[in-house]
Structure 1
Amino acid sequence: MSDNEPVTYGYRDLPDDGRAARTWWDANADEYLEEHRDFLGDAGFRWGPEGLTEAEAGLLGDVAGRDVLEVGAGAAHCSRWLISRGARAVATDYSAGMLAGAGPLDAATGVVVPRVQADARALPFADGSFDVAFTSFGAIPFVPDAVRVHREAARVLRPGGRWVFSVTHPLRWAFPDDPTRRGLTATRSYFDRRPYVEADAAGRVQYAEYHRTVGDHVRDLAAAGLRLTDLVEPEWPDWNDQVWGGWGPERGRYLPGTAVFVTETPT
Structure 2
Amino acid sequence: MSQTEQAPTQHLSAEQILGPTRPQHRAAGSQDSRLANRRWWDADAGDYHAEHAAFLGDADFVWCPEGLREDDAHLLGEVEGLRVLEVGCGSAPCGRWLTGAGAQVTAFDLSAGMLSYAADAATRSGLHAPLVQADASAMPFASQSFDIACSAFGAVPFVADSALVMREVARVLRPGGRWVFSVTHPMRWIFLDDPGEKGLQAVSSYFDRSPYVEVDSDGVPAYVEHHRTLGDRIREIVAAGFTLTDLIEPEWPDDLEATWGQWSRLRGEVFPGTAIFVCDLPG
TM over 0.5: yes
Q: 2:230 aligns with which of 210, 214, 229?
A: 214
Cα-to-partner distance string for 1:182-241 (whole Å, 9 max, x where unaligned): 211211100010011100111100001000000000111122111110000001112211
Superposed CA offset, 1:60-79 (max 9, x none): 01001100000100111001
**Which residue pairs with 2:138 in the alignment?**
122
Q: Please say if 1:102 is aligned against 2:118.
A: yes
Q: Does 1:82 align with 2:98?
A: yes
- Aligned-CA RMSD value: 1.5
- Offset at residue 88 of structure 1 (A): 0.6
- Shift of residue 4, structure 1, vs aligned partner: 3.2
Change (3 A) 1:53 1:3: closer
Candidates 7, 18, 22, aligned match of 2:38: 22
User: What is the alpha-carbon distance in structure 2 between the residues aligned to residue 113 and residue 250 of structure 1?
Assistant: 38
Task: Report if aligned partners of 2:30, 2:161 keep a CA contact under 8 Å in 1.
Answer: no
| Aligned residue runs from structure 1 range 46-61, under 5 A | 46-61=62-77
Distance change in 2, residues 1:254/1:124 (3 Å): same
- Identical counterparts, % of pairs: 55
Structure 2 unaligned blocks of 5 or more: 1-14
Cα shift readout 1:115-165 (whole Å, capped 9, x = no counterpart): 111111111111111000011000011011001111110000000100111
Q: Show the counterpart of 1:192.
A: 208
Residue 76 of structure 1 contacts residue 113 of structure 1 at CA under 8 Å; is this kept in 2? Answer: no
CA contact (8 A) 2:29 2:160 kept: no
Note the 1:29-44 alignment, pairs <5 A. Answer: 29-41=45-57, 44=60
What secondary structure, in the 3-state scheme, does the structure 2 residue paired with 1:63 have? coil
Match of 1:9 among 11, 17, 23: 23
Secondary structure at 2:148 match in 1 = strand
The answer for the alignment partner of 2:3 in structure 1 is none
- Aligned length in residues: 267
Please give the per-residue CA displacement for 1:22-76, whole angstroms capped at 9, x wherever unaligned: 1100111121112101000077011111110001111001001100000100111
Q: Is the 8 A contact 2:190 2:205 kept in 1?
A: yes
Unaligned 5+ segments in structure 1 are none
What is the aligned partner in structure 1 of residue 186 from structure 2? 170
Instruction: Show structure 1 runs of 4+ deviating over 6 A.
Output: none
Structure 2: distance between partners of 1:249 and 1:3: 32
Asked whether the equivalents of residues 6 and 198 of structure 1 are also in contact (C-alpha less than 8 Å), the reply is no
TM-score (ref. length: structure 1): 0.96
Deviation at 1:104?
Answer: 1.8
Q: Does the Cα contact within 8 Å between 1:43 and 1:53 map onto a contact in 2?
A: no
One-letter code of the match for 2:69? T
TM-score for both structures, normalised by structure 2: 0.91
Partner of residue 224, structure 1: 240
